[in-house]
Every structure is written in C-alpha cells, then in structure tokens.
C-alpha cells in the first residue's frame, strides 16, 4: 500500500459543524454554464435564447400541466 510522502494537517471533526455566516454578494461572480449551439440543437433546443423565451416557457408549462395529472401535484408538493 502506497502512503503519502508528506504529512498533512488533519482538521478536527466536531460534533456540530461550523457553518460560516451568510455574506451578501459572495456568489455575485457565479454564472450559469451556457452550452454551445452545436450541443443544444441536436437535443431539439434552439441554439440561442429566443426573444420571447418567457412566453414560450409559460405556454410549454401550460401544455404539460394539461397533459400530466401528476405534475400539478408534484409542483404543489415542492
């Protein structure tokens, strides 16, 4: 069995975790990963965000809510 050549400090595990306080703006730099058009289009998604994306999403949600009876139950339980 191979062992590490260097000793590393091992932190003490406490019975209750130390949760750091919330700091405003700490995730301001974080952005979603946007897939390239060549990855989106074979899956049936538009390569770029369409101008009326909000109404398209609402129309699709309305279609799915009418099609699947369990979907409203799921959405109410979340």
- Domain segments of the chain as ranges: 51-78
- pLDDT tens digits for range 11-46: 888 899 889 999 999 999 999 988 899 998 999 888
Average pLDDT over every residue of 45-57: 90
Assigned token pair, 4: 């590490």
Return the pLDDT at 12: 85
Which residue, chain included where needed, has tokens 């979603």?
32
Q: Is 40 exposed, middle or buried, given 0-12, 13-18 or 19+ CB atoms closer than 10 A?
A: middle
DSSP 5: S
- pLDDT tens digits for range 57-73: 999 999 999 999 999 99
A 10 A CB-CB count for 1 gives 2
């Amino acid at each position: 069995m191979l062992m590490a050549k260097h000793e590393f400090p091992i932190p003490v595990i406490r019975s209750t975790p130390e949760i750091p306080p919330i700091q405003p703006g700490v995730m301001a730099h974080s952005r979603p990963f946007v897939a390239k058009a060549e990855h989106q289009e074979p899956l049936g998604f538009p390569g770029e965000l369409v101008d009326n994306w909000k109404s398209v999403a609402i129309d699709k949600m309305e279609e799915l809510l009418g099609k699947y009876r369990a979907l409203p139950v799921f959405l109410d339980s979340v």
